[in-house]
Structure 1
Amino acid sequence: MGASGWDYYMPYQEDRYLAFVTLRQLVFEAGEFVWAVSGKNASDDPGRPTTEDELWSEEVVRLKGTHSILDMYKVLDDGEEPTYGYLPYAYETFEEYMALVKEHGNPEYGVVIPVGEAEAYAAAGDTKLTRDHVELLIPLAKFPGFGRFAVLHDDQGAPAELYFWGFSGD
């Protein structure tokens, strides 16, 4: 099937982890993920799991993922570096990636990384991102198995939403 892109908007709240956990729960309850056992969108499968423990108990799900935010397990705070020794966006080619894997080991997949001010400015020309900037942000999630999030602002410059996006699945 290959990795699939996903994206979600959540109302802004300071506690990004709570927003992340709430989003995961909403996606699970709505069945907005691929149920790898049947190969269907879970919302179309009456036999889909009723708990996340049930979902992840299936080996095929652990291998293929859900092609959704459910494949992510951790959201980092601003300035917090991933714990695997190198950034998922620090390479451009597969060869560079493999050199880093050889040097540092496999990266810690399933991590959602915030867009910092410098990265926001480089991608969108602004540090107060809005929905108008989303298309410019999407390329920042260029590697499967990692998610990104950005704070989006309203017309007055106040935080209004959290935007989560990435690629995951087999």
Structure 2
Amino acid sequence: MGASGWDYLVPYDGGVEAALKRLRAEVFASGDYYWTYGEDRPKPATEEELWADHNVRESMTHSVLDIFEVGTGDPWGGRTFGKTFEVTEAECTAVFGTPRPTADDLGSDLEEPTQQLLAERGVGRHLIIHGADGPAQILFFGATGD
């Protein structure tokens, strides 16, 4: 099947870790993720059941569910799979022309700019989007799957 790119824009409410946790719960509850069995089997009732399935662990969910924690350090280094890393101010400046982008700075097509910021498949990134009063939203993005 190959990897799938994904992105989610969520409110900055309680910080990155809290936002990631809420987003993962929302995506799981909505069922908006790749299920290796299609319509042949119902989707699991819990994330534990989802990840207990060998086929899911192999093919992943092609969604933010494949990102389990907020990482620190360099997303281009080792031991980064399943983590999301903040886009640095230097990266923001290089890609968006400002160290603290607003929604207007992002534009309507995020595919090309976000692709430049992805280290590898299975590693997410997150970008803090600023409003008039500071952090307003978080853009989580990545490419996961087999």
Gap change, CA 1:169 and 1:35, over 3 Å in 2: same
Determine the structure 1 residue equivalent to 2:17: 17
Answer whether contact 1:129 1:152 (CA < 8 A) is retained: yes
The runs of 5 or more residues in structure 1 that have no matched partner are: 91-105
Root-mean-square deviation (CA, aligned residues, Å) is 2.0
Determine the structure 1 residue equivalent to 2:134: 158
Runs ≥4 in structure 1, deviation > 3 angstroms? none
Aligned length: 141
Instruction: Select the structure with the greater relative contact order (CA < 8 A; seq sep ≥ 6).
Output: 2
Determine the structure 1 residue equivalent to 2:125: 148
Determine the structure 2 residue equivalent to 1:28: 28
Q: Which SS does the other structure have where 1:25 is aligned?
A: helix
Please give the alpha-carbon distance, in whole angstroms, between the structure 2 residues aligned to 1:69 and 1:126.
Answer: 26
Name which of structure 1's ranges 159-168 and 125-134 shifts more when overlaid on structure 2: 125-134
Mapping for residues 1-170 of structure 1, pairs under 5 Å: 1-36=1-36, 38=37, 40=38, 47-76=42-71, 80-82=72-74, 87-88=75-76, 107-131=79-103, 132-133=105-106, 135=110, 137-139=113-115, 140-154=117-131, 156=132, 158-170=134-146
When Rg is computed on C-alpha atoms for both structures, the one with the higher figure is 1
Residue 71 of structure 1 and its aligned partner are, at CA, apart by 0.5
Please give the alpha-carbon distance, in whole angstroms, between the structure 2 residues aligned to 1:46 and 1:62.
Answer: 16
Gap change, CA 1:14 and 1:121, over 3 Å in 2: farther
TM-score by length of 1: 0.75
The runs of 5 or more residues in structure 2 that have no matched partner are: none
Answer whether contact 1:147 1:167 (CA < 8 A) is retained: yes
Please give the alpha-carbon distance, in whole angstroms, between the structure 1 residues aligned to 2:19 and 2:40.
Answer: 27
Answer whether contact 1:144 1:167 (CA < 8 A) is retained: yes
Determine the structure 2 residue equivalent to 1:94: none
Please give the alpha-carbon distance, in whole angstroms, between the structure 1 residues aligned to 2:133 and 2:40.
Answer: 42
Structure 2 letter corresponding to 1:133: L
Q: Which SS does the other structure have where 1:81 is aligned?
A: coil
Gap change, CA 1:130 and 1:2, over 3 Å in 2: same
